Structure 1
Amino acid sequence: MILIKTKKEIDYIRESCQIVAEVLQLLKNYIKPGVTTLELDRMAEDYILSNNARAAFKGYSQVGSFDFPGSICSSVDDEVVHGIPGNRVLNEGEIISIDVGVEKNGFYGDAALTVAVGNISDEKKKLMEVTEKSLYLAIEEARPGNRIGDIGYAVQSYVESFGYSVVRDLCGHGVGKHLHEDPQIPNYGKKGSGSLLKNGMTLAIEPMINLGTHKVFVDEDGWTVKTMDGKPSAHFEHTIAIIDGKPEILTKC
């Protein structure tokens, strides 16, 4: 069931989303060669706690795996999403996706961005640019009267025109009263298909785009999703609310 939020509920979601946005900007400015993903994780958790909020990912459980141990997901190069923070040292030329979820006052925000570690190849720069652009094209489709398929079509048609592929095993989702709510929001689809979009919906839209094949697998750690061919992947995400006939980005810093 797709939950329609009241103005007051959206205000609570907006507060959690603002913390998410601030964490992402904080980490973005700190990412450089030599930093470990665990350092980023601790920095994020400290900031979230200082705002009387909770890291929504920490302790999150899914079938067949242990509870997620990190406050953020840190996914490097061929890691698509759900990378576990640890002693991994970031190296010049890598790209890293940072995904942050926050819960405050019982409401959730969720967003992600991909950041260059030092100087990166033109190939990786283009992948990041196209993926981020596809996110904003998708957000523009999140209007009453459109459908979920319009969001997915916007992502797919744009990124595939550059020869990239859309991850199909993972998708965006509703968010707000819970970290993951209906509807699921694939990054591919047909115009005019899927659930009808309405005012009061709050959605996490998150293109996950691979340089090579769309095929992925879950690493032996039980969480980290990686590209099957070992080529890099980029990931950008915003939580949005549909208000007065148009999308508002809640996780914009």
Structure 2
Amino acid sequence: MTGKVYLVGSGPGDPELLTVKARRLLEEADVVLHDKLPGPEIIELVPEARREDVGKRAGGEWTPQEYTNRRLVELANEGKTVVRLKGGDPFVFGRGGEEMEHLAANEIPFEYVPGITAGIAGPGAAGIPVTHRDHNSSVSFVTGHEDPEKDESAVDWGALAATGGTLVVYMGVGKLPEYTRALRDAGMDPDTPVALIERATWPDQRVAVGTLDTIVAVRDEMEIAPPAITVIGEVAATRERVVEFMEGR
């Protein structure tokens, strides 16, 4: 009898931000395949004997996506209930769409369980709303780490610079010099506020603030490392006006 796969978002990392359904599935699953982005406290909710690390880190150890796809099908065909646990939301730069299609192609039943995406929760945890009626009428979510096999980038930084809205960049710490330069070259004000939120909602969360012109130097000085979210736009300056009164941060 074929089992079932749950594509589960763990949210930004704080275990108290797991959905009720996600926590229940972690307790009930036969096997949990997790990446590196769920907070360590969330991963430790699952006994080691029931979990498999299929994560990836920029410049470090990694598990090929093909292996993860194959493993999901293998486990389901063994009749197991499988949780594929991802940071944030499975369908926001989490490759959940690819896994969903692979499961369907192999006739494996699956279910999507949403999580709070880091592009909203990360800035919020730092006192930065991604939308604010005084500052922006749009928000764009962009990956800073595209498929390296692409011939050219699919991100039009010039068009994004022209929107006048908030830009939220996932996985963009390493490429920060390139895209901040591209935005300046496209006419974005060098004094535009920028914030980097490292390990948002985790106990060791850190926030670096600067401008489009200075944020690379701030990143280097503070040694900000992945996982981190970049927020570019006037909303990034909100933090300095509220952080003193923001409990827990």
| TM-score, with structure 1 as normaliser | 0.31
Please say which structure displays the higher CA radius of gyration: 2
More helix by share: 2
More strand by share: 1
| TM-score, with structure 2 as normaliser | 0.31
Query: Taking CA–CA contacts closer than 8 Å with sequence separation of 6 or more, which of the two structures ends up with the larger relative contact order?
Result: 1
